């Protein structure tokens, strides 16, 4: 804003004028008690313009209040959504932990089964070898007994 000031020493006045708004403010110094008096002066067309602008202020304030209410509603909605997401996260964490525990148990079972299968295979191979040895031994004894028995006859 641009201001202009004019000093009138003989009248004990200083006049300030806002060039942008055409508002004049009269600052009067009383010669008796040296007090300052503020007197607002304005032109009729400026008064009408200011009155029109002053009438706009409540409308703008209502608009601002509506925007604030809309913003508050959005905040409340977002907070509720955040709470819902937090609950879902908690549920998913619980499910994740439960699945981890189940996976751990299944891995233990799988590991135990793997060891059992390896031991069973090893034992089975030993049984097969032992059976083959037994078969070979019995067969040899049978043939030896047969050949010994034929020599007696």
Average pLDDT rounded to a whole number, residues 118-147: 93
Nearest to 16 by CA among 48, 45, 37, 40: 40
Q: In this structure, is the dihedral angle defined by the CA atoms of residues 62, 68, 74 and 77, taken in order, positive or negative?
A: negative
Let me know if residue 136 belongs to a domain: no
Which residue(s) pair with 41 in the sheet? Answer: 24
Number of domains in the chain: 1
In a domain, 24, yes or no: yes
**Residue 14: per-residue pLDDT:** 53
The residue assigned the tokens 């439960």 is 98
Rounded alpha-carbon distances, angstroms, from residue 140 to 126, 134, 136: 21, 10, 6
Distance of CA 117 to the CA centre of its chain: 49
pLDDT tens per residue across span 58-106: 888 889 999 999 999 999 999 999 999 999 999 999 999 999 999 999 9
Residue 7 located in a structural domain: yes
The pair of structure tokens assigned to 14 is 């200083």
Question: Which residues form the domain of 17?
Answer: 1-42
Average pLDDT over residues 12-37: 48
């Amino acid at each position: 804003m641009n201001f202009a000031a004019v000093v009138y020493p003989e009248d004990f006045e200083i006049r300030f004028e806002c060039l942008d708004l055409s508002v004049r403010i009269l600052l009067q110094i009383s010669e008796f008690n040296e007090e300052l008096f503020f007197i607002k002066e304005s032109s009729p067309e400026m008064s009408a313009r200011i009155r029109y602008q002053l009438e706009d202020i409540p409308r703008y304030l209502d608009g601002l209040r509506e925007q604030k209410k809309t913003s508050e509603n959005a905040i409340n909605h977002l907070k509720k959504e955040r709470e819902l997401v937090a609950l879902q996260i908690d549920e998913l964490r619980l499910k994740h932990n439960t699945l981890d525990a189940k996976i751990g148990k299944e891995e233990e079972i799988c590991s135990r089964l793997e060891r059992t299968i390896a031991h069973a295979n090893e034992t089975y191979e030993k049984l097969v070898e032992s059976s083959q040895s037994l078969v070979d031994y019995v067969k040899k004894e049978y043939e030896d007994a047969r050949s010994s028995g034929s020599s007696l006859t």
